[in-house]
Amino acid sequence: MKQDNRINTGNPLRVIFFAGKGGVGKSSIAGATGILSAESGNRTLIMSMDIAHSLSDIFDVKKDGIVDFNRGAPFQVADNLWIQELDISEEIEKNWGEIYRYISTLFNATGLDEVLAEELAILPGMEEVSLLLYLNRYSKDKRFDVIVLDCAPTGESIRFISIPTTLEWYIKKVFRIEKTIARYARPIAKRVYDIELPGDKYFDTIEFLFQRLRGVDELLTDTDITSVRLVTNPEKIVLKETQRAFMYFNLFRMNVDAIIVNRIIPPSIKDRYFNDWRITQKEQLKSAEECFSPVPLFQVDLMKNEVLGYKNLRQLGKKIYRDKNPLDVFFKGTPYELRKENGIYCMSINLPFVKKGELNLNRVHDELIVRVGGTKRHFLLPRHLAGIDSITARFEGEKLCIYFGGGQNDKE
Ligand X SMILES: Nc1ncnc2c1ncn2[C@@H]1O[C@H](COP(=O)(O)OP(=O)(O)OP(=O)(O)O)[C@@H](O)[C@H]1O
**Of positions 34, 72, 74, 153, contacts ligand X by CB under 6 A:** 153
CA distance 318 to 271: 26
| Sites for Mg ion among residues 8-27 (CB under 5 A) | 26-27
Residue 181: partners with Cβ closer than 8 Å, 6 or more residues away: none
Under the binding rule (CB under 6 A), the answer on residue 22 touching ligand X is yes
Report the residue number, 26 or 378, with the smaller CB distance to ligand X: 26
Residue type, 40: S
Under the binding rule (CB under 6 A), the answer on residue 300 touching ligand X is yes
* Residues touching Mg ion, count (CB under 5 A): 3
Of 88-96, 105-113, 276-284, 301-309, which segment contacts ligand X by CB under 6 A?
301-309
Rounded least distance, CB 172 to Mg ion, Å: 35
Report the residue number, 50 or 87, with the smaller CB distance to ligand X: 50
Report the residue number, 28 or 243, with the smaller CB distance to ligand X: 28
Report the residue number, 27 or 242, with the smaller CB distance to Mg ion: 27
Under the binding rule (CB under 6 A), the answer on residue 262 touching ligand X is yes
Residue 171: partners with Cβ closer than 8 Å, 6 or more residues away: 206, 207, 210
Pairing of strands 367-372, 375-380: antiparallel
From ligand X, Mg ion, none, which one binds at residue 72 (CB under 5 to 8 Å depending on kind)?
Answer: none
**Of positions 161, 307, 349, 380, contacts ligand X by CB under 6 A:** 307
Under the binding rule (CB under 6 A), the answer on residue 302 touching ligand X is yes
From ligand X, Mg ion, none, which one binds at residue 171 (CB under 5 to 8 Å depending on kind)?
Answer: none
Of 47-55, 99-107, 214-222, 286-294, which segment contacts Mg ion by CB under 5 A?
47-55
**Of positions 4, 306, 389, 410, contacts ligand X by CB under 6 A:** 306
Under the binding rule (CB under 6 A), the answer on residue 335 touching ligand X is no
Of 188-196, 297-305, 324-332, 372-380, which segment contacts ligand X by CB under 6 A?
297-305
Report the residue number, 21 or 26, with the smaller CB distance to Mg ion: 26
Rg value, the chain, Cα: 24
Residue 301: partners with Cβ closer than 8 Å, 6 or more residues away: 263, 264, 265, 266, 319
Pairing of strands 297-301, 256-264: parallel
Rounded least distance, CB 92 to ligand X, Å: 23
CA distance 91 to 76: 20
Rounded least distance, CB 232 to ligand X, Å: 10
Report the residue number, 46 or 132, with the smaller CB distance to ligand X: 46
Under the binding rule (CB under 6 A), the answer on residue 23 touching ligand X is yes
From Mg ion, ligand X, none, which one binds at residue 302 (CB under 5 to 8 Å depending on kind)?
Answer: ligand X
Give the interface with Mg ion as residue ranges (CB under 5 A). 26-27, 54
Give the interface with ligand X as residue ranges (CB under 6 A). 20, 22-28, 50, 54, 153, 262-263, 300, 302-303, 306-307
